[in-house]
Structure 1
Amino acid sequence: MILPRLALITALLTASAVCAHETAGQHGGRVTDAGKFHVELVAKGETVDVFLSDEGQKPVPAAGFKGTAILVVGGKPARVPLEPADGNRMTGKAATALGDSPKGAVQLTGPGGETASGKFN
């Protein structure tokens, strides 16, 4: 009786972990969920670009959004303020180069005040 329950719990936890993985985005970055949005993180040198889309992968205009990327650089957190740019892109500059796949999180505040965050491993 205990063994089948353990097997079911293990299967459910494994399925949850698989669903939470990041995917590749159309701009060459990593995509993860942030509330009701999908966010794609693209880091090149000191530049951080975050692309917003909805659950159907349709671009969401970045106008009116505020954001911060909190990324690990050299074992220390680096806060990068994000500003709306063109289309569905938000952008910011870090003090140092970030590498191509920095770990961390993106925190967003939408035009209506709703907040969301997405984690990148």
Structure 2
Amino acid sequence: MMLQRLTLVAGLLGATAAYAHETAGAHGGRVADAGDFHVELVTKGESVDVYVSDGRQKPVPAAGFKGTAILVVGGKPARVPLEPADGNRLTGKAAAALGASPKGAVQLTGPDGATASGKFN
């Protein structure tokens, strides 16, 4: 009985810790860990904006980054290519409206060729 309770508590703590990695961002989106970076996903209509910051939430210039947002739209994955825009923002357009908080992932390739991804539940 004690082992079952410990297993339950460990599972709940693990789920809480995983959920805690996604927080609210400065631009009104959700923030997730992506390797050495944090990525903030902001969607409005068909527009997808991803803001990149370092581990201390300092903006990282988007120049030299490439990315893809793979988001669930109508139960199917939609791939949205992301290109650098101003400041620390990458942007792209989806074929259909995404809603305010779609599930999916953002995959980034940095200027040095290193890749990272952040997951949004």
For normalisation by structure 1, the TM-score amounts to 0.91
Partner of 1:15: 13
2: CA distance, partners of 1:17 / 1:99: 25
Q: Which residue of 1 aligns with 2:41?
A: 41
Deviation at 1:5, TM superposition (A): 8.3
What code does the residue aligned with 2:50 have? V
Shift of 1:89: 0.4
Distance of 1:43 and 1:115 partners within structure 2: 22
TM (norm. structure 2) is 0.91
- Residue 75 of structure 2: aligned partner: 75
Q: What amino acid maps onto 2:13 in structure 1?
A: A
Distance, in Å, in 2 between the alignment partners of 1:13 and 1:54 is: 29
Cα deviation code 1:52-98 (max 9, x no counterpart) = 01111111111100000000000111000000001100000001110
SS of equivalent residue, structure 2 residue 38:
strand
CA distance 1:5–1:19, change in 2 (3 Å): same
Q: Distance in 2 between matches of 1:37 and 1:10?
A: 31
CA drift at 1:4: 5.2
1:13 Cα deviation from its structure 2 partner:
3.7
Aligned residues: 119
1:27-106 alignment to 2 at 5 Å? 27-106=27-106
Q: CA deviation at 1:10?
A: 4.0
- Structure 2 distance, partners of 1:11, 1:42, is 33
- Partner of 2:13: helix, strand, or coil? helix
2:118 maps to 1:107: no
Structure 1 residue ranges without an equivalent (≥5): none
Root-mean-square deviation (Å): 1.5
Question: What amino acid is the match of 1:16?
Answer: G
Identity %: 74
Structure 2 unaligned residues grouped into runs of 5+: none
